[in-house]
Structure 1
Amino acid sequence: MLSISVKYFDDLSLDELYAILQLRAQVFIVEQDCVYQDIDGKDSRALHLIGKKDNEVVAYTRLFPGGVYFKEASIGRVVVGPEERQYGYGHDILKASIEAIAAHFKEQAIKISAQQYLVRFYEKHGFVKVGEGYLEDGIPHVAMIRE
């Protein structure tokens, strides 16, 4: 079972931060074979949603109020460890992320930069494509909004 917590950067323990960065690197850099600067200086301004199973970080998102990435609030770095994807944790953390944005930022509209192959996943949570696709760090993406 996935245990979800929401924390500001200053409330993360060093072990949590390390595990989050390790998971992000495992998936976004190694698995997706994409060399990019994951540690972008924005983590300190984010709200971090952490999914743990057996006290290990296996799922994660970072959340921003409107005005940081987009005019709207945003969800980024959506990640579930490869060995945990079969359990539907991506849906669990996305639903919790939408709820956390409403609770912490008091915002409804959310804009994301979604990897193209995940469009249907995000559509199941009320997101719709806006505009044309584009490359981000060499990977096809599309902007999506949930009003």
Structure 2
Amino acid sequence: MLLIKQTDELTPQQLITILKARVAVFVVEQNCSYQEVDDDDFDDLHVALFNDNGDLQAYTRVMNRDTEVNFGRVLVVDQFRKDGLGRKIVQETLDVIAQRFPNKPIKIQAQAYLQEFYESFGFEPKSDVYLEDDIPHLDMVLMPKQN
């Protein structure tokens, strides 16, 4: 099941499930101490895949800015990795952005090891590799398709 909701539309159970998975991946698994839940979370668009049992499988958050759209916190829950859900959640996210925020560039901060993955969706690197919370990242952009 695909879930697309603003923060204030999520049930408490959905919100806690999402935040728990994000902390598990980005703080615990990556051994990275930082403020994972931030002020953007008050008004994000959340895109999530749940299986038929109601288990969270994959997730992203989308932030609509004045001149661009950002997405991040891209994750696949450990037990569902190797099933192609990374590609699926990114494509679902791009589809949602194209529908809700057409004609805006999409800018992301990608972990450097995923550069080729994001390039396969049409993203282009826009920075050198830099450290963000001691993890190599680079800025990438996907320009809107011209009609």
TM-score, normalised to structure 1's length?
0.92
Q: Residue 126 of structure 1: SS of its match in structure 2?
A: coil
What is the CA distance between 1:123 and its match in structure 2?
1.0
Letter in 1 for 2:135: I
The within-5 A match list for 1:30-109 is 30-53=28-51, 54-67=53-66, 71-109=67-105
Q: For residue 113 of structure 2, what is the aligned residue in structure 1?
A: 117
Inter-partner Cα distance in structure 2 for 1:38 and 1:95: 24
1:69-126, CA deviations, whole angstroms, 9 ceiling, x for partnerless residues? xx42111110111121111111111001011111122244100000011111111111
Distance 1:66 1:25 in 2: 24
Across the aligned residues of Structure 1 and Structure 2, the Cα RMSD in angstroms comes to 1.1
What is residue 126 of structure 1 aligned with on the other side?
A: 122
Residues 36 and 137 in structure 1, CA contact (< 8 A), matched pair in contact too: yes
The alignment of Structure 1 onto Structure 2 pairs a total of residues equal to 142
Moved over 4 A (4+): none
Structure 1, gaps ≥5 residues long = none
Instruction: Provide the rounded CA distance (Å) in 1 between the counterparts of 2:36 and 2:57.
Output: 17
Among 12, 16, 19, the alignment partner of 1:18 is: 16
Q: Once the 2 structures are TM-superposed, how far is the Cα of residue 50 of structure 1 from its aligned partner?
A: 1.0
Q: Identify, as 1 or 2, the structure richer in strand.
A: 1
Gaps of 5+ in 2: none
Checking the alignment, whether the CA contact within 8 Å between 1:23 and 1:58 is kept in structure 2 is no
CA deviation after TM superposition for structure 1 residue 143, in Å? 0.3
**1:24 to partner: Cα distance:** 0.3
